[in-house]
Structure 1
């Protein structure tokens, strides 16, 4: 049984030989340059660009990932065959695009070659998904496809009229509601430029810059190493948008530093995992799910980014306070003076990094053209790279390998968006979306609270086996209609899904951020994930709060926003103190219960409970202050 599970498990990274390395680099750099040029405004037909993007992603997936963990990591002839099939099938669609452009979808007949190429492409996407993500998503897609084929044999409300093979292929491959639909389009025309920007920034030393900034700001505080991890991961993650990439990049510095200064291996990995996960929620870039949200909802990305700012800052307040209280409770020492540079010295040396980042923020928020803003930021990195690497040969290598790294970073996102398109296409074709949403609503008996809880449970379960973009794409068509039917506005409903889906990076048993941190911390990944969930517990509550208190999303009057943000800040403080067992002094059971009740009261969107929570927090704080003042102090020797 164990051997069978390993045979169908995701593959592992392949050790590339020289031919494979250069093939990966050529495909990656070519695709990255093409997509950045499109972001700058160079015109190419949408369909052709998507065919080329999918062909590149599939080829990179088969070249860099083994079929399963048992396969050797060296050269593989079957993988080269799959690469040839990927390029061939996508090349067929590029070649036939003028012909397909003239046909009437769902009316004109498809040729045998069209159907064969489509089936091959669907099979390739599913195989790439199995290798890169896992069997759970493949089984889910196969289930939906089986429903499309055999659903007419069912009885009751879940039966449909039945579809021929040509109808299924036409809808899934030749329409804009399937494989080449919104999910893949967002990945190709939005997400990729930001992933490439993050890879280029990392290649020219951006991760070191963020680490030094964080170190200069909080390194001298108690528990400075943990706080440096939180701040640096937030800064870098807000640009990269990828929890796993954030862990691997900033965690390679912060986790060993935390362990060296007295933090346990498990807690060091958990802090880094929790902090890196928040990067997918923090503007200006956020994660790829937020880009998908713009397409699903029609809400401008700048509006989404501004609305997500306060909850994201509350998330980082929570993780930072967890590190702060834990450090005081355990008596950890600050980092030494020699390890903490001054902020002025860092800015004097590395001020140039702020230019592309500033352009990115300005472009996203002011121009409302995130793809162009990302491309502009990539271009602005070139002068920074010249300053950092004046040698022409090294400069060219830095930019070349940065572009290649960016496309390799798109493998998981691209495959996830492609497979999500198949699921969304099947759901729209069979009208299963409305049936499942109605089922969620009836399962909860029409209760708003239960509907939200059931939706969150479904999202978390999906997130245990899938990356965030795929989770969001599915949940947006499954859970969002049920939430909106309750009277929840579109923006809070979809941001709720984004936040819950993003937490899948630290949710056991498949917690990708925790597994990445475990490889650095040399600790149990499941224990890291459990501790990370405890650290980020408040983050699991925030989506429920802003569903009923949209002022946290900057929706409402200035007074409502001010009150909501103020009570949320105090609630985060109280809950973290209760969870970590420290607030000015070590806390016993009663004090922790009082602070926990105060935090819950401050979070509940009811004026009376907010007032009661604030009064209880004030009284408990006064009690703790007086206890601290009256505690005997050790006399100097």
Structure 2
């Protein structure tokens, strides 16, 4: 006899769902919706006009429907399609379909001033519930609880005394603002997800489907395969290349880590170290242009700064991050004498390029179009078109062209589900903030807490971002953090670009920051190691990512802002500092470091990072002299 639900079973119901095993009917429906969605938004990216709000209604309907088709409601329940899942999928189509068919009437009414019909109110409330349930299934209760707290504040905030009081808001007024304006659910976050991020994810999925991941791996193997710790270095380079396109730390880990982690373990790395290297490298993919975890698109929309300017400014910090991770891997391998791969089994660089040159066409296309045309969505659409040489030069893909194309497009839309749902949930928070002016109140509270101190404001902002980022994708964290933390940083005199890129970095680092380090958990699922130990080790390997944002806050020359001489001095000194930091974290730099040498090197590294450009460069040069003098003495 079945027992009644226990508290444990309810806790499992509240947890995120798992991917479904779809039957032929559900899979066909999913594929049809995905293809229609992909073709529509690719056409929009190429310049076909559609009313933006109408496009967002279609996008949300498709994403919610696919979320309920692909994710279960219970992580321990059946993976087959259920009646509840089908009903929620149909409700999603019905609610968003209602908004589409009523678009003419709704576009003519004055939000808040003109009353909603009873059906408008019912549809809006059901749609909000569907978004929260899809968020629970795809992301988990962390984001649902966070969104619910903000919504409850909107409902009952008028009963709070003091600075956080706001005027009373009726259910109709809240629903109107959140659903029928462009400041809530269909606000900037969902707009960027649908009209910008979507096309880049499609490009990444097509690139991966037609062998782009293997191309990146072969390139990495050919470059560093004969060095100490070769599999780990391949992991760093291939994760950087793949992550720069995919923009998802978790997807990067499961894609590249599935073969790099076992190779690292076979080469002598511990399971924890191998998993941590992959997690740290994959997290860095969210910092590397052009995609930057999709946050760069949101950042451009929030700040008004051109997307091309953002990715150019982000290049050197991202390169320094991967340089530091790479050197940490190298120093660990040298210290423990971990061998190289068999040179005879490695692919040759020029042979790989000669064989797979076609993969460069879409990459060059997307870089050129972004920088020259400053139209990111159009650039990604052009890059998708640039995949045609791959189709034409690869017989294995030419033979199954339509099959691979359909699967690639469908996989791309599936990857957008998480981002779309997260951005929809973030839109509810942003809408509540605008209704209640909570943004200004939180910024004021941060100022009060920090007592006007720049350092304490930064520490408070980091704490807010890391807490918000627990288990959440980068775009959603950024959408929330940009309206909560950025105003406080900018009010203290921080440059807008520096402040927002600072937030992007700590949003990305939530993927390896305990206790909810999703990249570490993904790596742990491959290696079978303790995810918390992996997360701590990954934070140590990627320590520079916690430091670089602080550097460009006080020295914007790192973002290529300032005189050429100051930029060169800052970049040179930071490079030396990153190299020295990798020695401090591993206890090895051109030889084993004693405890005293390690402490002295740590002090010199800290001075390099906190001093101004030219003093920092002088300290960096002294550090180089110290390192090489110590090495010369050790060799005598």
Same fold (TM over 0.5): yes
For the 8 Å contact 2:205–2:411, the answer to whether it is kept is: yes
Residue 545 of structure 2 corresponds to residue 562 of structure 1: no
**2:292 match: secondary structure:** coil
Task: Report what 2:273 is aligned to.
Answer: 267
- Counting only pairs closer than 5 Å after superposition, residues 74-473 of structure 1 correspond to structure 2 as 74-389=80-395, 394-473=400-479
Task: Report what 1:50 is aligned to.
Answer: 56
- Residue 507 (structure 1) aligned to one of 513, 536, 554: 513
For the 8 Å contact 1:594–1:620, the answer to whether it is kept is: no
- How far apart in 1 are the matches of 2:496 and 2:48? 33
For the 8 Å contact 1:584–1:624, the answer to whether it is kept is: no
For the 8 Å contact 2:468–2:477, the answer to whether it is kept is: yes
- Counting only pairs closer than 5 Å after superposition, residues 488-507 of structure 1 correspond to structure 2 as 488-507=494-513
Tell me how far 1:613 sits from its aligned partner: 3.2
- How far apart in 2 are the matches of 1:70 and 1:316? 38
For the 8 Å contact 1:194–1:374, the answer to whether it is kept is: yes
- How far apart in 1 are the matches of 2:586 and 2:622? 18
Tell me how far 1:126 sits from its aligned partner: 0.3
For the 8 Å contact 2:325–2:541, the answer to whether it is kept is: yes
Question: Structure 1, residues 30-52: CA drift from partner, whole Å, max 9, x if none?
Answer: 11111111000111111111111
Tell me how far 1:6 sits from its aligned partner: 2.1
**1:341 match: secondary structure:** coil
Residue 486 of structure 2 corresponds to residue 484 of structure 1: no
Tell me how far 1:179 sits from its aligned partner: 0.2
For the 8 Å contact 2:35–2:406, the answer to whether it is kept is: yes
- How far apart in 2 are the matches of 1:539 and 1:462? 18
Tell me how far 1:253 sits from its aligned partner: 2.3
**2:163 match: secondary structure:** helix
Task: Report what 1:634 is aligned to.
Answer: none
- Residue 522 (structure 2) aligned to one of 516, 525, 549: 516
For the 8 Å contact 1:597–1:613, the answer to whether it is kept is: no
Question: Structure 1, residues 289-337: CA drift from partner, whole Å, max 9, x if none?
Answer: 1111111101110000000001000100111011000000110111101
- How far apart in 1 are the matches of 2:308 and 2:626? 40
- How far apart in 2 are the matches of 1:304 and 1:572? 22
- How far apart in 2 are the matches of 1:339 and 1:263? 20
After the TM superposition, which of the residue ranges 62-71 and 417-426 deviates more from structure 2?
Answer: 62-71
Task: Report what 1:65 is aligned to.
Answer: 71
For the 8 Å contact 1:573–1:599, the answer to whether it is kept is: no
- How far apart in 2 are the matches of 1:607 and 1:113? 62
For the 8 Å contact 2:397–2:404, the answer to whether it is kept is: no
**2:386 match: secondary structure:** helix
**TM-score of the pair, normalised by structure 1:** 0.97
For the 8 Å contact 1:496–1:544, the answer to whether it is kept is: yes
For the 8 Å contact 2:283–2:508, the answer to whether it is kept is: yes
Structure 2 CA distance for partners of 1:309 and 1:496, relative to 1, 3 Å: same
Tell me how far 1:5 sits from its aligned partner: 2.8
Task: Report what 1:9 is aligned to.
Answer: 15
For the 8 Å contact 2:573–2:613, the answer to whether it is kept is: no
For the 8 Å contact 1:219–1:334, the answer to whether it is kept is: yes
**1:585 match: secondary structure:** coil
- Structure 1: which 5+ residue stretches go unaligned? 631-637
Tell me how far 1:626 sits from its aligned partner: 2.0
- How far apart in 2 are the matches of 1:563 and 1:33? 48
Tell me how far 1:525 sits from its aligned partner: 1.8
For the 8 Å contact 2:284–2:322, the answer to whether it is kept is: yes
Question: Structure 1, residues 212-267: CA drift from partner, whole Å, max 9, x if none?
Answer: 00110111111111111111111111111111121122222211211121111111
Task: Report what 1:546 is aligned to.
Answer: 552
- How far apart in 2 are the matches of 1:404 and 1:627? 61
**TM-score of the pair, normalised by structure 2:** 0.97
- How far apart in 1 are the matches of 2:537 and 2:396? 44
**2:97 match: secondary structure:** helix
Task: Report what 2:539 is aligned to.
Answer: 533
Task: Report what 2:4 is aligned to.
Answer: none
Task: Report what 1:25 is aligned to.
Answer: 31
**1:583 match: secondary structure:** coil
**2:226 match: secondary structure:** coil
Structure 2 CA distance for partners of 1:218 and 1:392, relative to 1, 3 Å: closer
For the 8 Å contact 1:128–1:415, the answer to whether it is kept is: yes
- Counting only pairs closer than 5 Å after superposition, residues 606-617 of structure 1 correspond to structure 2 as 606=612, 610=616, 613-614=619-620, 616-617=622-623
After the TM superposition, which of the residue ranges 323-332 and 502-511 deviates more from structure 2?
Answer: 502-511
Tell me how far 1:113 sits from its aligned partner: 0.6
- Structure 2: which 5+ residue stretches go unaligned? 1-6
- How far apart in 1 are the matches of 2:11 and 2:89? 25
The count of aligned residue pairs is 630
Tell me how far 1:470 sits from its aligned partner: 1.2
Question: Structure 1, residues 553-607: CA drift from partner, whole Å, max 9, x if none?
Answer: 0000101100111110011111110110101111121111111111111111335
Tell me how far 1:509 sits from its aligned partner: 1.7
